[in-house]
A and B are shown apart, each in its own frame.
Chain A
Amino acid sequence: MDRRIRVLIAKPGLDGHDRGAKVVARALRDAGMEVIYTGLRQTPEMIVSAAIQEDVDAIGLSILSGAHMHYFREVKRLLEEQGASDILLFGGGIIPDEDVPRLKELGVAAVFGPGTSTQDIVDFLKRAVPERWRAQGLA
């Protein structure tokens, strides 16, 4: 399979702590993926429109501010609204365990907390994205 996985890494909201987002972006790139980093302070609208324009397979949101429920819900809603719900949504940051099942219910495919190895995120994408391709008959 030589198709390369395309991932958008985004920092929604007002928070500027981008260490995790950048470390993950770099690790995914080192693992052979194409990575687009949005930069800081993106609205859900900006994130979804960038994801569609860039034709990505997955969106990773990095949120430490406690506003994760709001942003994941908005991004998911907009993806559905724009017929792009096949884009895999995942994320990480400071997200309490209690909220993880609620995020999964929204359709967030994976939530990576502090201390996650970047290899786990790489492995997750290498497994989940081709599954989607197969499901869509693309691979």
Chain B
Amino acid sequence: MRKKHDWLRETYQKSLEKMPERPVAHRTLSDIAPDPLYTPEDIGVLDPEYEEKRGYPGEYPYTRGVYGSMYRSKLWTMRMFAGFGTAEQTNERFKKLLKAGQTGLSVAFDLPTLMGYDSDHPLSKGEVGKCGVAVSSLADMEILFEGINLEEVTTSMTINSPANAIWAMYLAVAKKRGHDWKKLGGTIQNDILKEFIAQKEFIFPPEPSVKLVIDTFEWGPKNVPKWNFISVSGYHIREAGSTAVQELAWTLADGFEYVEAALKRGLDVDEFAPRISFFFDVHNDFFEEIAKFRAARRIWAKEMRHRYGAKNPQSWMLRTHAQTAGVSLTAQQPLNNIARVAIQALAAVLGGTNSLHTDAYDEALALPTEESATIALRTQQIIAYESGVTHTIDPLAGSYYVEWLTDEMERQAMAIIEEIRRMGGVVRAIEEGYFLRELAEASYRYQQEVERKERIIVGVNAFTDEIPLKVPIQLVDPEVERVQAERLARVRRERDPKRVEEALAGLRRAAVEGQNTMPHFVECALAYCTLGEMMDVLREVYGTYQEPAYV
């Protein structure tokens, strides 16, 4: 077996050359100085499967973390999901979060934007600015990032069906401000498969939807090389009621489906795979969540290397964002959610996440207030700076339970992935209603367990209060709809109609002819075409998707 000493001299040192250790005391409160890593050598045991199954951080199969020095050098990115009301209001919240020490931005869009409708569309009524910020054109995007240097922050955007259009708007803002696209970092969620499985914000049928995603795989590495053009997301699958094993399996199966679609288009796996990122949920079952992250990295590395023939180690690395489980939060005794979020966030960190959002305690009631959002961010900072869990990498490795559970989750997830492959892949499984059935079963089973009190939820089915505790909640200004409608009217009045028409015609042509749509989305964004106009063009070409109403 390779010696720890060799890893320290090679991988760890190399990692430090890129990113030195953080200038904080990597010592316990008793002044003991832990090594960056512990292995079977340190306690004098034999682990014949060590290298194959666990290996070293920053090395295949990445079970112990994707980077050589992990949090000793660089903490995870603290990236709080935020967005409500108008672009002005959200811009103000962004600036406050950055001032509070957040290190990346993450944009929540409202439902009309997620569904590709302008704020003044009849179907948008009542929904504008409600669960996120309304972005209907470049004019909104410009305000959203006013006063924020796009080369200094990385921005994640939770957008799926209209991902190409929204990304194009962000890039258009950067272009107009003279930024170099090659310096821009960030992520668009852009994971349409999980929309059909769980979250249901789809517009077009699965096939053209996947085609749009693969357009970004093809165009992204050449034009915006540091951008993650997909965040394959288990979060919504879990929130819709799956188990942790199903979340793990389905998310990775989605990832493999995109890889296969990209290979089918003739793309080079080592060109696009390094820019694929992931997103997982972190629920209450502490060790199961830690094991999930470790198993996810191992499965991805193995499959990318051996099944898909990737040669670049960057293609084997599963980098992930994580979010504490919104669905686990209770409306009863809401302050208890601070404790839940802390436990979940700690699991994500011990699981080796690269980026984290912590939910605010009031999210079972409404959107977070400024205070509740700050407490959620502070929770991450307490884990990062006070708990000492960052002294050594993957500190739970070698725990009999954690290693066994990691293996078990890998085994069960691979069985599900193989089952989906036998069905003919994720798109086929969607068409056959497989995910809808499985989700309905799993979520109903969980609900019954709670109602029978086989699972205790503090404050809900045990330890309840007679008098409910009131917490202040965030209300969205009903003026938003009017402000948005006026801005849209102004945009439509002031833009160059000829340029708009030509840009939309170019997009239509690309869609009809099966060409890459991304250059046309950028042109549309620069011409101030609205989101609704762009999506309408594609609705005409591709049609829309109706899900069968299955209970």
Interface residues of A (CB under 8 A from B): 9, 13-19, 22-23, 25-27, 29, 35, 37-40, 43, 64-67, 69-71, 94, 96-98, 113-115, 117-119
User: In whole angstroms, how far apart are the Cα atoms of A66 and B111 in the complex?
Assistant: 10
Count B-side interface residues using an 8 Å CB cutoff.
48
Which 10 A-B pairs give the minimum distances between C-beta atoms? A16-B200, A70-B126, A39-B549, A66-B130, A67-B126, A14-B111, A115-B460, A114-B331, A37-B551, A25-B551
Cβ distance B104 to chain A, nearest Cβ, rounded Å: 25
Q: Are B443 and A13 in contact (CB under 8 A)?
A: no
Q: Are B200 and A18 in contact (CB under 8 A)?
A: yes
With a CB–CB cut-off of 8 A, which chain A residues contact B444? Answer: 22-23, 26-27
With a CB–CB cut-off of 8 A, which chain A residues contact B239? Answer: 17, 19
At the interface, yes or no: B338 with Cβ under 8 Å from chain A? no
At the interface, yes or no: B112 with Cβ under 8 Å from chain A? yes
Q: Are B547 and A14 in contact (CB under 8 A)?
A: no
Among the 9-residue stretches B134-142, B171-179, B360-368, the one with 4 or more Cβ atoms under 8 Å from chain A is B360-368
User: In whole angstroms, how far apart are the Cα atoms of A11 and B126 in the complex?
Assistant: 14
Q: Are B331 and A14 in contact (CB under 8 A)?
A: no
At the interface, yes or no: B245 with Cβ under 8 Å from chain A? no
Q: Tell me the nearest residue of chain B to A120, going by C-beta.
A: B451
- Would you give the 0/1 interface string for B508-551, flagging 1 where the beta carbon is closer than 8 Å to chain A? 00000000000000000000000000000000000000111101
At the interface, yes or no: B447 with Cβ under 8 Å from chain A? yes
User: In whole angstroms, how far apart are the Cα atoms of A38 and B548 in the complex?
Assistant: 10
- Would you give the 0/1 interface string for B320-348, flagging 1 where the beta carbon is closer than 8 Å to chain A? 00000001011110000000000000000
Q: Are B127 and A65 in contact (CB under 8 A)?
A: yes
Q: Are B367 and A39 in contact (CB under 8 A)?
A: no
Q: Are A115 and B447 in contact (CB under 8 A)?
A: no
Q: Is the interface of B mostly helix, strand, loop or mixed?
A: loop
User: In whole angstroms, how far apart are the Cα atoms of A119 and B451 in the complex?
Assistant: 8
User: Besides the contacts A22-B551, A65-B127, what 6 more A-B pairs have beta carbons closer than 8 Å?
Assistant: A13-B126, A17-B240, A39-B546, A66-B127, A114-B329, A114-B330
User: In whole angstroms, how far apart are the Cα atoms of A70 and B131 in the complex?
Assistant: 15
Q: Are B114 and A39 in contact (CB under 8 A)?
A: no
Cβ distance A70 to chain B, nearest Cβ, rounded Å: 3
User: In whole angstroms, how far apart are the Cα atoms of A66 and B476 in the complex?
Assistant: 9
Q: Are A19 and B240 in contact (CB under 8 A)?
A: yes
User: In whole angstroms, how far apart are the Cα atoms of A97 and B332 in the complex?
Assistant: 11
Q: Are B199 and A40 in contact (CB under 8 A)?
A: no
Q: Are B451 and A23 in contact (CB under 8 A)?
A: no
Cβ distance B293 to chain A, nearest Cβ, rounded Å: 23
Cβ distance B433 to chain A, nearest Cβ, rounded Å: 13
Contact of A13 among B127, B470, B549 (CB under 8 A): B127
Given contacts A17-B200, A26-B551, contact A96 B365 (CB under 8 A): yes
Contact of A66 among B115, B117, B131 (CB under 8 A): B131
At the interface, yes or no: B457 with Cβ under 8 Å from chain A? yes
At the interface, yes or no: B88 with Cβ under 8 Å from chain A? no
Q: Are A37 and B549 in contact (CB under 8 A)?
A: yes
With a CB–CB cut-off of 8 A, which chain B residues contact A96? Answer: 365-366, 473, 475
Q: Are B364 and A70 in contact (CB under 8 A)?
A: no
With a CB–CB cut-off of 8 A, which chain A residues contact B439? Answer: 19
At the interface, yes or no: B123 with Cβ under 8 Å from chain A? yes
Cβ distance A99 to chain B, nearest Cβ, rounded Å: 10
Q: Are A94 and B127 in contact (CB under 8 A)?
A: no
Q: Are A40 and B130 in contact (CB under 8 A)?
A: no
Q: Are A13 and B473 in contact (CB under 8 A)?
A: no
| 17 A-B pairs whose Cβ atoms sit less than 8 Å apart in the complex | A15-B127, A16-B202, A18-B200, A19-B239, A19-B240, A26-B444, A35-B551, A38-B549, A39-B547, A39-B548, A40-B549, A43-B123, A66-B127, A67-B127, A96-B365, A96-B366, A115-B330
Cβ distance A15 to chain B, nearest Cβ, rounded Å: 6
At the interface, yes or no: B403 with Cβ under 8 Å from chain A? no
Given contacts A70-B125, A115-B331, contact A14 B451 (CB under 8 A): no
